[in-house]
Amino acid sequence: MRADPLAYLTTELNTLREQGLYRSLRVLDSRQQATSRFDGRTVVNLSSNNYLGLTTHPKLVEAAIQAIRDFGVGSGSVRTIAGTMAIHMELERRLAVFKKTEAVVVFQSGFTANAGTVSSILTKDDVVISDALNHASIIDGCRLSRAAIKVFPHKDLAAARTVLQELPASQRKLLITDGVFSMDGDLGPLPGLCDLAEEFGCIMMVDDAHASGVFGANGRGTVDHFKMHGRVDIQVGTLSKAVGALGGYVAGTRDFIEFLYHRARPFLFSTSHPPSVAATCIAALDVLEQEPDIIDRLWDNTRFFKAGLVAMGFDTGASESPITPVFAGEGSRAMKLSDRLFEEGVFAQGIAFPTVARDKARVRTIVTATHTKDELQFALDAFGKVGKELGLI
Ligand SMILES: *Cc1c(COP(=O)(O)O)cnc(C)c1O
């Protein structure tokens, strides 16, 4: 028998086990909702991105079922051949109105929206100026573009300015930030970055994955939140988190979007959404436009939960969003905190290197609009008990 050429991967996995960083996937065997059943245990769920509870909203469910009955379960092709259905165009039209931009293109995911956009608009002669904590899909897009990548320390406008000052005026520049940083829950400094983009002639891009449906009027995102309309050239959003389904979108000028239709590789080479996904997203936009009080409930729960953690003395960092990290030092400690919380009936995922820096391991919590105060208080009580046990408070 020949030796397994993949045996080196087993060695790597064993290293993870020794470091207490090996994770098996938690399996959800109920709906994705405020209290869910993972691995057979019913727990208060603080780990989903289902901010508004839309994964199970009756209007979205009905829209998906109706679209399946009308149009079937698959699109059968990529968008640029036979896979553009009227419902895909309708979703893009609705998103453009929602975002108040000329046009929108929808991708299969937020990941492909970022990677496909950045990689198609830049070449090796160009440069990206990128926040150190920007999402992996942005980093991959930058690498695929072969542009030079200049990383500035997290949210450090002065450092970004220094980078920009050293670049030739003639070089094409993309200045890029997350709207909400997914592991810390803080906001990108959009007003200051827009000023820099204008001063140095950069293309300005924001990835609003965790802001879509959460920040701005009716969940329009951080550009709306900061009143930066017209100053951000490229807005990426996701349809996979607060919107409750799956997908990513890019909003901007008509010609920019038309260019992506011609050049963004995930758009050209990967099959479009099933019609039910597009229908679900359209129904989600109806909910955001017609029932914005759902977003108020999200923020009410966010304030309650954060205040509870802070009052007990946990280190929650600089979060400004429904994402609240609870710092625990090194990776194995964060995993221990997460495991003990799970035993106490609370699911809050531990996050360690390489997702975050080695000494910044944490448990990440995300509340939703659909959690009751009782569920949140139950979770706070569990944090209090386990936090004392592990000497975090
Ligand atoms: C989740 C996330 C994405 C990817 O979105 P998907 O729709 O899940 O692929 C992109 N950027 C950021 C900042 C994210 O948090």
pLDDT of 82 reads: 98
pLDDT of 19 reads: 84
Tell me the pLDDT of the chain (393 aa) as tens digits: 799 999 999 999 999 899 877 888 999 999 999 999 999 999 999 999 999 999 999 999 999 999 999 999 999 999 999 999 999 999 999 999 999 999 999 999 999 999 999 999 999 999 999 999 999 999 999 999 999 999 999 999 999 999 999 999 999 999 999 999 999 999 999 999 999 999 999 999 999 999 999 999 999 999 999 999 999 999 999 999 999 999 999 999 999 999 999 999 999 999 999 999 999 999 999 999 999 999 999 999 999 999 999 999 999 999 999 999 999 999 999 999 999 999 999 999 999 888 888 899 999 999 999 999 999 999 999 999 999 999 999
Report the nearest atom of ligand 1 relative to the CA of 210: 15
| Preceding amide of 275 cis, omega within 30 | no
Give the separation between CA 331 and CA 225, rounded to whole angstroms: 34
In order of their start, the domains of the chain are 20-51+292-389 (3.90.1150.10), 58-290 (3.40.640.10)
Residue (of 250, 117, 134) closest to 181 by Cα position: 134
Give the separation between CA 328 and CA 351, rounded to whole angstroms: 10
Residue (of 186, 243, 207) closest to 118 by Cα position: 207
Ligand 1 centroid to Cα of residue 140, in Å, is 12
pLDDT of 107 reads: 98
Look at the pTM and tell me if it is higher than 0.85.
Answer: yes
pLDDT of 23 reads: 83
pLDDT of 354 reads: 84
Nearest residue (by CA) to ligand 1, atom 12, is 209
Nearest residue (by CA) to ligand 1, atom 14, is 209
pLDDT of 22 reads: 85
Report the nearest atom of ligand 1 relative to the CA of 178: 13
Specify whether the CB–CB gap between 285 and 98 falls below 8 A: yes
Nearest residue (by CA) to ligand 1, atom 1, is 209
pLDDT of 1 reads: 78
Q: Are strands 248-252 and 234-238 parallel, antiparallel or unpaired?
A: antiparallel
Ligand 1 centroid to Cα of residue 110, in Å, is 5
Q: Is the CB of 184 under 6 A from ligand 1?
A: no
pLDDT of 258 reads: 98
Q: Is the CB of 114 under 6 A from ligand 1?
A: yes
Phi-psi region of 229 (alpha: psi -120 to 50; beta: other; left: phi over 0): beta
| Preceding amide of 354 cis, omega within 30 | yes
Give the separation between CA 43 and CA 31, rounded to whole angstroms: 12
Q: Return the DSSP state at 28.
A: B
pLDDT of 355 reads: 86
Place of tokens 């098996």: 24
Q: Is the CB of 116 under 6 A from ligand 1?
A: no
Q: Which token pair is 286?
A: 């109806």
Specify whether the CB–CB gap between 322 and 365 falls below 8 A: no
Ligand 1 centroid to Cα of residue 163, in Å, is 26
The alpha helices in the chain, defined as continuous H runs, are 7-18, 58-71, 86-99, 110-121, 136-145, 157-165, 190-200, 222-225, 254-263, 265-269, 275-290, 293-312, 331-343, 373-389
Give the separation between CA 146 and CA 140, rounded to whole angstroms: 10
User: 105-121 as b/e, with b when 16 or more CB fall inside 10 Å?
Assistant: bbbbbbbbbbbbbbbbb
Place of tokens 């990835």: 207
DSSP string, 343-393: HTTEE--EE-TTTS-GGGEEEEEE--TT--HHHHHHHHHHHHHHHHHTT--
Q: Is the CB of 134 under 6 A from ligand 1?
A: no
Ligand 1 centroid to Cα of residue 244, in Å, is 13
- Full strand arrangement of the beta sheet holding 350-351: 323-329, 361-366, 350-351
Specify whether the CB–CB gap between 321 and 181 falls below 8 A: no
Q: Are strands 127-131 and 173-178 parallel, antiparallel or unpaired?
A: parallel
Ligand 1 centroid to Cα of residue 2, in Å, is 41
Residue (of 246, 150, 256, 242) closest to 196 by Cα position: 150
Q: Is the CB of 244 under 6 A from ligand 1?
A: no
Q: Is the CB of 131 under 6 A from ligand 1?
A: no
Active site residue ranges: 182, 210, 241
Give the separation between CA 223 and CA 38, rounded to whole angstroms: 36
Specify whether the CB–CB gap between 130 and 151 falls below 8 A: yes
Nearest residue (by CA) to ligand 1, atom 7, is 110
Per-residue pLDDT tens digits for 281-317: 999 999 999 999 999 999 999 999 999 999 999 999 9
